[in-house]
Amino acid sequence: MSTAAPRDSILDRLGKMPVSGDSGIMYPARRPAIPPAAATLTKPAVAPSDRKPDQPFYPVAPRTLEEAGLIESEVSSLLLKKLLNRSVEAGFRLADQLGLRMAIIEPVLRQLKTERLVAYKTTLSAGDYIYELTDLGRDRAREFSSSCSYFGTAPVPLSQYISSVAAQSIAHRRPSLAAIRHAFRDLSINERLLSNVAQAIHSGRGMFLFGNAGNGKTSIAERLTQAYGDSIWIPRAISAHGEILRLFDPNRHQPVAVDPTDLPESIDGRWLKIRRPTVMAGGELRMENLEVTYIRSTGIGEAPLQLKANCGTLLIDDFGRQRMPVDELLNRWIVPLEQRQDFLHLESGRTIQTPFDQLIIFSTNLEPRDLVEEAFLRRIPYKIEVKDPTEQDFVALFETVAGQMKIECPRPVIEYLFEKHYRTTGRSPRYCHPRDLLRQIENRCTVHDLPRVATEDAIDQAVENYFSVL
């Protein structure tokens, strides 16, 4: 595990986050910590995969506590809290719930029995038992829960997580132009824009997407991760200096099926295979979203957005309209953007160094130079303008969308639309207009039981409804 001095700027302390309903949480009180012995780990954790960084990462199931990067007191604490919540449980189920092999937790359970913290309730086949807490064990479990009520999958040490990010980094991925074009297959995007975006993807550093609203900046950004076309492994939780950070977020991470050729027993159960993430934050972004957020009633830390986006894409949508001042965000990220490393504060006051490894995209309707200083702009190598469609692009897109919606739309009607409602009025076309206007026409036909045909009258009414206050 690596640490670094705190940043020069002073950050606001962290607020509370709502509890997600994780089944691995109970609710007593106070501050986060695993048992004190957890902070005494001196041996470096053994990486869960021997593969080189340019090969697919694979979390091999550890055979010992040392390989898992854990110490006995950490596992004991989780087992006691698990039994406090479950009342009784079979040994093999406890192993499965912690994501560890039975061979790892069996000696720990045996030691807990020796210390009279657990007892055998029933004998099972193959030398396993149904375990339950003794009165002493119940008191010890409550004591642990008062500090940190987490009792889910055993955490992965920070050092192993850092190794996994290095192995799965987007810097190792160079998707072909064909793969990138396929990711945008449902969008109308010209070759020049496609080429610029492809170059930004290959840089792996970041980009500004700017231009008028309604031209698909967010849609482009949301599809970028698809160009990488693969999945990654992430741990459900990370341990750092005796504190637990929950990384897996079901609202932002999409699990995928494990390769059927992989035997379940060969995989480290603490890891989950997901699609490369696309994490998006809009106007609601605040400084606390970029720091470890502690749920004080449980003692569990929630990983910040940029950590959840590692090996994927982080989209800051509607940049410049966040609740936090732009210069605060720039101060926070100017060093990570340069060094590809971030520094996070733990509840204990210690600072940890973590990877800052994602394609970061700032999408804005404003001019980037009006938002940020030149020093920051230099750290975002690609500034790509998503321009308004030409008349030719607009007409072609209108015909394509009409065909998809099964609305008959003669070319003269589209030319009528452009001449009367764009060229004559000086209105600028947007890529979203064909879809939005055709939906108006579709609704008109449905309401009045009319044939699905775009007429000049239907066009006029759609324009009147859509542009009345625009």
Tens of pLDDT, residues 18-73: 333 333 443 333 333 334 333 333 333 444 444 544 446 899 999 999 999 999 99
pLDDT(429) > 90: yes
Distance in angstroms (rounded) separating the CA atoms of residues 96 and 77: 16
Residue 355's contacts (CB-CB under 8 Å, 6 or more residues apart) are 162, 165, 166, 169, 310, 340, 341, 342
Residue 350's contacts (CB-CB under 8 Å, 6 or more residues apart) are 3, 241
Compute how many other C-beta atoms are within 10 angstroms of the C-beta atom of residue 308: 21
Q: What angle do CA 215, 220, 221 make, to 5 degrees?
A: 120
Distance in angstroms (rounded) separating the CA atoms of residues 275 and 257: 10
- Tell me the residue length of the chain: 470
Select from 117, 47, 42 the least CA-distant residue to 75: 117
Confidence of residue 470 (pLDDT cuts 50, 70, 90): low
Q: Is 168 exposed, middle or buried (0-12, 13-18, 19+ CB in 10 A)?
A: buried
Exposure on the CB side of residue 174, measured as CA atoms within 13 A: 3
**pLDDT, position 22:** 39
Select from 321, 291, 329, 300 the least CA-distant residue to 242: 300
Distance in angstroms (rounded) separating the CA atoms of residues 144 and 320: 44
CA distances from 364 to 122, 282, 317, 331, 384 (A): 63, 10, 7, 19, 11
Tokens standing for 180?
């990138």
Identity (one letter) of the amino acid at 219? S
Domains of the chain: 1-22+155-387 (3.40.50.300), 391-467 (1.10.8)
Distance in angstroms (rounded) separating the CA atoms of residues 57 and 50: 9
pLDDT(297) > 80: no
Tokens standing for 56?
């697919």
* 46 neighbors 385 (Cβ within 8 angstroms): no
pLDDT tens readout for residues 117-150: 999 998 888 788 999 999 999 999 999 998 888 9
Distance in angstroms (rounded) separating the CA atoms of residues 313 and 358: 5
User: Of 43-57, 234-248, 337-351, which gets the smallest average pLDDT?
Assistant: 43-57
pLDDT(386) > 80: yes
pTM of the model: 0.81
Distance in angstroms (rounded) separating the CA atoms of residues 369 and 389: 23
